[in-house]
Amino acid sequence: MKLAITGGGTGGHLAIAVALAKEARSRGIETIFIGSSSGQDRDYFGDGGHYEDLFSEAYFLPTSGVVNKKGLARVASLFAILKATLRSIKILRSCDVLYSVGGFSAAPASFASLLVRKPLYIHEQNAVIGRLNALLKPYAKSFVSSYEDSSPIKGYPVQEIFFDLFRIRKSVECVIFLGGSLGARAINDLALSVVDDLSNRGIKIVHQTGKKDYERVVAEYKRLGVDAEVVAFSKDIASLMERADLAVSRSGASTLWELCANGLPALFVPYPYAALDHQYYNAKFLRDANLAWLEREGADLKGLFLTLLDEDLTQKSEKLASMTNKNVAKMMIDEILGDTNEIYRSF
């Protein structure tokens, strides 16, 4: 069997591709990737990428997002998707199944799968269904959601290490600030604004800044004389989370569900320009279950954050892991194999 995985652009989509590909490889399934030359796809699966050896082949097609573009720029993007769809048709002819993990990178291969009649499976990572996934959902063999109870498999395929490092938090002795793969200046600024408060209480700081803001943040900690653990980006984010008792984080899907699996309570500060405001609704899903805190940029983040330092985190920490499933990637591959075997038996 040969499985093609498509989608990406951001870490939330690509993290699903990683988990799915690892599970497929563990079953001896050949796996290829079809993504975009834009976004973070190459950073993950290209030469020198974080997971460059994960796929037997990786294709990065010249496409970009269509949403938020107008006029000639929108026409150019649509034309690029058309050309990439034709290329994807040739790639998919040797594959048995396509799994879309969403994002603009997924458009060409997903359309191509319908044209060459290859089964299309979709995972929707956000609480608000993306426009591409909403368009393709009626044609998908299976549509998996992290949030919908009606989903045949409910959950986000978090890597096992986050479950393995799960522990129950009770009080705040260490805080981690997470801006996502691109960083978040609002969260970085919040961290720097509460340095004195944390230092006076003996609370340790772990801070993932994003590449663009790394040097500024490091210089500011140095100026303040604070010994914080600062990284621009880390493949070992699970061990950084494990050391913390409270997180301040964006609410992209991968980070949100990794925090759940690890039992780490969080104050979510959603990215305000996310498509369809999906980061807000991702975090709201946990906030409504009384398992997280949620606040917009521009609000009194510092005031709210400081009140959380005295919270008893036990109940939230205990319940977070129950919100996700350790075997989602396994179930996704099981579903494909079961459907494929059924097709073969019908001949």
Q: For 197-226, what is each residue's pLDDT tens digit? A: 999 999 999 999 998 899 999 999 999 999
Is 314 a domain residue? yes
Q: How far apart are CA 1 and CA 295, in angstroms?
A: 46
150 and 179 fall within a common domain: no
Per the document, the length of the chain is 347
Q: Give the pair of three-digit tokens for residue 88.
A: 């994807």
Taking the CA atoms of residue 47, residue 48, residue 49 and residue 54 in that order, the dihedral angle to the nearest 10 degrees is 60
- Asked if residue 180 has pLDDT above 80, the reply is no
- Residue 39 is predicted with a pLDDT of 83
Is 242 a domain residue? yes
**pLDDT tens figures, 210-267:** 988 999 999 999 999 999 999 998 878 999 999 999 999 999 999 999 999 999 999 9
**pLDDT tens figures, 42-64:** 989 999 887 989 999 999 999 87
User: Which residues fall within 8 angstroms of residue 227, CB to CB, at 6 or more apart?
Assistant: 221
Is 347 a domain residue? no
pLDDT tier, 69 (very low <50, low <70, confident <90, very high otherwise): low
Is 166 a domain residue? yes
Q: How far apart are CA 82 and CA 90, in angstroms?
A: 13
The whole model's pTM is what? 0.88
Taking CA atoms, 76 is separated from 44, 65, 115, in Å, by 26, 10, 22
The angle subtended at Cα 127 by Cα 39 and Cα 32, nearest 5°, is 40
Q: How far apart are CA 105 and CA 63, in angstroms?
A: 7
The angle subtended at Cα 57 by Cα 3 and Cα 340, nearest 5°, is 10
298 and 181 fall within a common domain: yes
169 and 317 fall within a common domain: yes
pLDDT tier, 346 (very low <50, low <70, confident <90, very high otherwise): very low
Is 42 a domain residue? yes
Residues 102, 137 contacting (CB under 8 angstroms): no
182 and 281 fall within a common domain: yes
pLDDT tier, 181 (very low <50, low <70, confident <90, very high otherwise): low
30 and 139 fall within a common domain: yes
125 and 169 fall within a common domain: no
Q: How far apart are CA 159 and CA 267, in angstroms?
A: 22
Q: Which domain holds residue 284?
A: 160-323
Give the residue from 302, 264, 268 showing the smallest Cα distance to 288. Answer: 268
User: Which residues fall within 8 angstroms of residue 108, CB to CB, at 6 or more apart?
Assistant: 6, 34, 61, 63, 81, 84, 85, 87, 88
Strands 120-124 and 57-61: unpaired
Check which CATH number belongs to the domain holding 87 and give it.
Answer: 3.40.50.2000
Cα–chain center distance at 103: 11
Element containing residue 246 per DSSP (H, E): strand 246-249
283 and 318 fall within a common domain: yes
- Tell which wins on pLDDT, 76 or 316: 316
167 and 113 fall within a common domain: no
- Asked if residue 287 has pLDDT above 60, the reply is yes
Compute φ and ψ for 303, nearest 5 degrees.
-60, -45
Q: How far apart are CA 223 and CA 215, in angstroms?
A: 12
Number of domains in the chain: 2
